[in-house]
Homo-oligomer: A and B are copies of this chain.
Amino acid sequence: MVEIGHTCLTDRRGFHLPRMTDTEWREFLIAGTRTGKLATTRLDGRPHVMPIWFVLDGDDLLFNTGAETLKGRSLRRTGWASLCVDDPSPPYSFVTVSGPVTISTDLDEMLPWATRIAERYMGAERAEEFGRRNAVEGQLLVRLRAEHVLAMSRVAD
């Protein structure tokens, strides 16, 4: 996991972009119902990007997807993903996490994670319903390790 601390990145035009600390980017990722935009590479080399629901477990982001969806097939083939979470309001902040993925099809392992993910995005009352919907045959539990983290706050300040 690459962690750069509370420093500034200077872009090519000389503007200073403050990096988030380790604590800040974790809190940013798990705030509210922010979704991840998951980028994968298709078989023909073109990029693919779709929103996903996820939760954080240490340095790992966990999410479900269908084994035969485009992103499911791409993840299984390449073993790698990049995921972006942002705050789309001034002064704009974002975190992009990239790293290797490990994939499980074990439904006993999948159900508690699918339920936690559903609780984050649909609330406690509907967590079990959506957890059971998402932990079924044909679904994957994907664990993306945050090996590279780019986390910038207040980009447009």
Which residues on A are within 8 Å of B, measured CB to CB?
11-13, 15, 32-35, 37-41, 45-51, 66, 68-69, 78, 80-84, 86, 88-90, 92, 94, 96, 98, 121-123, 130, 133, 136, 138, 156
Residues of chain B within 8 A (CB-CB) of A136 are 13
B133 near A49 with CB under 8 A, answer: no
Across the interface, A66 reaches (CB within 8 A) one of B11, B50, B80, namely B11
Q: Is there contact, CB below 8 Å, between B133 and A50?
A: no
Give the distance in Å from the alpha carbon of A119 to the alpha carbon of B37 in the complex. Answer: 25
**Contact across chains for B51 and A88 when beta carbons are under 8 A apart:** yes
List, in ascending order, chain B residues with CB within 8 A of A94's CB: 50-51
Known contacts A12-B68, A45-B45; A37/B138 CB under 8 A:
no
